Chain A
Amino acid sequence: MLEIVDLHAKIEDKEILKGLSLKINEGEVHSIMGPNGSGKSTLASILAGKEDYDITDGDILFNGESILEMAPEERAQEGIFLAFQYPIEIPGVTNSYFLREALNSIRKSKGENPLKPVEFVKIAKEKIKNLKMDESLLNRSLNEGFSGGEKKRNEILQMSILDPCMSILDETDSGLDIDALQIVANGVNSHRSPDKSFLVITHYQRLLNYIVPDFVHVLVGGKIVKSGDKSLALELESKGYSWLES
């Protein structure tokens, strides 16, 4: 589904990704761990199409085609979703209006009819219930004044409503309490299917007890320095990263 080939990326002349390769097939869950500043969020932003970066070498293929020239909205319409590490607050735009616009834009790109507000609200309410979120969050300004945990849950709500095939979760577990972690993990797991893939960025092995990955990769200094199965996460938990840095 997603293939990253020897990706080199710079921001403001600083090289951050230095030859990163990764292949994610349909239905697979990959996890990326790595020290602060190693380039995890950079990778996630580049996948979602943020324009601040210079891709100096390499390619990103999605379903066999390069997406480097695609705008963020086109990628989202193709089914790439990024749950932000730091979701943006947008005062004056209600959560439900935003979600409906987003869903209808994606539907439109597929030639489907837009949902009417009542139809949309029905779907949204069901999903919001699954995530044990307060319904009033739908009528509030997007992420404005949301607690850290509410913002993260809101990202997962967006994922479950927009129904992407490639979800990238950037530290969605950070800042969640123990119950919320489980709720979010359930949200993700209920979204799992043989044709949907995940890239889960996290610092904590704990999340991977709930969302069990097929592969774990370690990103250090802009490159994947080690890959393994879920036991690698446990190993990292006890040994840290220093043995991998050289």
Chain B
Amino acid sequence: MSEFLNNIKNQFEKFCGENPSNDIVNDFRIKSFENFNNLGLPTTKDEDWRFTNLNEFYKNQYSIPPTKKEFNKNLISNSISDLDAHFIYLYNGKLVENDNIDNVVIKSLSSFLNEADLNTFNRFVDNHSVKNRDFTFELNSAFINDGVFIDVNEKAVIDKPIVLINYFDSSTSFSSYRNLINFNTLSSGQVVEYTFSDRDINFFSNKTTSFFLGDSTNVEHLSIDESSYHSYIFSNLKISQTNDSNFTTDSILIGGKIYRNNVHPVLNGQGSNSNILGLYLSKENQHMDNYMFVEHVEPNCGSRQLYKGLLKDSSKGVFHGRILVHNEAQKTDAKQTNRNLLLSDKAQVDTKPQLEIYADDVKCTHGATTGQIDKEALYYLRARGINLEDAKLIMIRSFTEELLEFINSNFILELHKKIVEEWFLNSDLAKTD
């Protein structure tokens, strides 16, 4: 662990030297790095990391990859490149190319940071709820430079979905990047983040995507991560919602050796609503840790978490579902559901709900289930002539498809289905026991 920390410290010094910025940014980096140092690296003794052992991760030495200009787009899966969408390309976290979109300003995060005055900086970078900042987030702040800033004009309705493609190709690299996506009042749109990498490379990705939803905005988000099965992925999704905004996020976790998926919506405007959906598809020795933190600050908001895990082989899943209802947040309606389907006797899931409610007039429910494919149901399907493999697939599909009910955008729905079916095809589901 100390070697890991030393290495990170060296990388930080190198990073600051190579990416000088203005005082606001420089001070912020240093402050955040101190915060990171004060927090230290977590072990399973930390309540929030109880089920995720990072020891094998700490044995690695990662370094910041050299800047590269453009990547071979033929590497992008057809399911993505054929989409009718606006594309933005990131390479190891750096913005390299983007389509122009009417009513949307797109720039690299580093140019955003260079231009930002203190107000703007605070609003988009240094304004995150202090209730949930783990080492990954502090580290992401310390290394703030790469990523993209997207600003959607007031009242704009984006004609086509925005697809952010992020490609990693450097083994032993450490990529830290932040995407800031701002929807101004009355605007709406769909944003897809698609992340993939070269096969089998071991890299360390530490990403934060922050959404800012103005009054009466309507945004749907889908995140798909198909990175190498040998990578370590730490992802923070932060959402800040003001009055009457509607947000739906859907995550499909496929890649990573260890995947930590932090999702943190903050409902700080009355009448706003958040749907937090996710599907973790794990196999072999993958470990997928979903840490949800839904924060209700203002009254009359709703949140609906539905996370589903489909676990094969010896893979492990974690679902930690926190809901924090502040004392002003009366009439909160928060619902949390976690369901897991184990496709092997060796697969395992740990689920932990954590409700902290300080208002008295709220509706807050949670529930979790973990089980295997129902044997009686399988027999029933087979007794009607459906082959065992097909019967299993029918049961698995019926399990995952519950999520689709909460997706409004047809584009996201179809893409979600396609990616999941591809995983089914690649995962030899028939050979489960």
Contacts and interface: CB of A to CB of B under 8 A. Distances in A.
A201 to B, nearest CB: 16
Given A93-B394, A101-B390, A101-B394, A88 B384 contact: no
Nearest to A90: B377
Interface string A163-200: 00000000000000000000000000000000000000
A115 to B, nearest CB: 13
B399 A102 contact: no
Contacts of A106: 385
Contacts of B326: none
A73 B399 contact: no
Interface string A83-98: 0100110111100001
A101 B391 CA distance: 9
B398 A105 contact: no
Interface in B396-427: 397-399, 401-402
Given A90-B381, A103-B385, 17 more contacts: A50-B383, A73-B385, A77-B385, A82-B383, A84-B380, A84-B383, A88-B377, A92-B399, A92-B401, A98-B381, A101-B381, A101-B394, A102-B381, A105-B387, A109-B385, A162-B384, A162-B385
The majority secondary structure among interface residues of chain B is helix
B101 interface: no
A9 B363 CA distance: 53
Interface in A103-137: 103, 105-106, 109
Contact of A90 (B380, B385, B390, B401): B380
B379 interface: yes
B56 interface: no
A80 B390 CA distance: 19
A82 B399 CA distance: 26
Nearest to A93: B398
B376 interface: yes
Interface of A: 48-51, 71-73, 75-77, 82, 84, 87-88, 90-93, 98, 101-103, 105-106, 109, 158, 162
A76 B380 contact: no
B388 A71 contact: yes
13 contacts: A49-B382, A50-B379, A51-B379, A71-B382, A72-B379, A73-B391, A76-B382, A84-B380, A87-B380, A88-B374, A88-B379, A92-B397, A93-B394
B118 interface: no
B386 interface: yes
Nearest to A51: B379
A94 B1 CA distance: 52
Contact of A102 (B384, B395, B402): B384
